[in-house]
Amino acid sequence: MSPKYQGRGGTGTPIFSGGNNPLSKSGMCVQVGSVPPTLALADVNAAGCPIPCNPSWGTNDLNAVCGQGTICCQTTEIEFEDCVLDPNMGDNGCYRPVVGTDIMGTNSSTNLTNWGGSKHATHQDPSGTNCEVFVAGLPSSVYSGQGIDPGDALRACYHRLTVADRRGFCLGGGPGVFCPLAQPNYRDACEQRNDLELRQGCG
Query: What secondary structure, in 3-state letters, does 100-154 show?
Result: HHHECCCCCCCCCECCCCCCCCCCCCHHHHHHHHHHHCCCHHHHHHHCCCHHHHH
34 is a domain residue: yes
Over residues 18-38, the mean pLDDT reads 87
Indicate the helix (H) or strand (E) that contains 158: helix 150-159
- Cα distance between residue 66 and residue 71, in whole Å: 8
Phi first, then psi, for residue 98 (nearest 5°) are -70, 150
Q: What percent of the chain has pLDDT over 90?
A: 74
pLDDT the model gives residue 145: 85
> Is residue 8 included in any domain, yes or no?
no
On the question of pLDDT at 174 being above 90, the answer is no
pLDDT in tens, 124-158: 999 999 999 999 999 998 888 889 999 999 999 99
Structural domain harbouring 128: 18-196
Q: Structure pTM?
A: 0.89
Each residue's pLDDT tens digit, 83-104 = 999 999 999 999 999 999 999 9
Give me the mean pLDDT over the 62-81 stretch.
95
- Assigned domain for 152 exists: yes
pLDDT at 142: 86
Average model confidence (pLDDT) for the chain?
93
Q: How confident is the model at residue 203 (pLDDT cuts 50, 70, 90)?
A: confident
When divided into structural domains, the chain yields a total of: 1
41 neighbors 5 (Cβ within 8 angstroms): yes
Q: Please count the other Cβ atoms lying within 10 Å of the Cβ belonging to residue 63.
A: 14
Domain assignment present for 103: yes
5 within some domain: no
Helix, strand, coil % in the chain, rounded to nearest 5: 30, 15, 55
Contact 60, 79 (CB under 8 A): no
Residue 12 is assigned to a structural domain of this protein: no
108 belongs to a structural domain: yes
Number of helical H runs and strand E runs in the chain: 5, 5
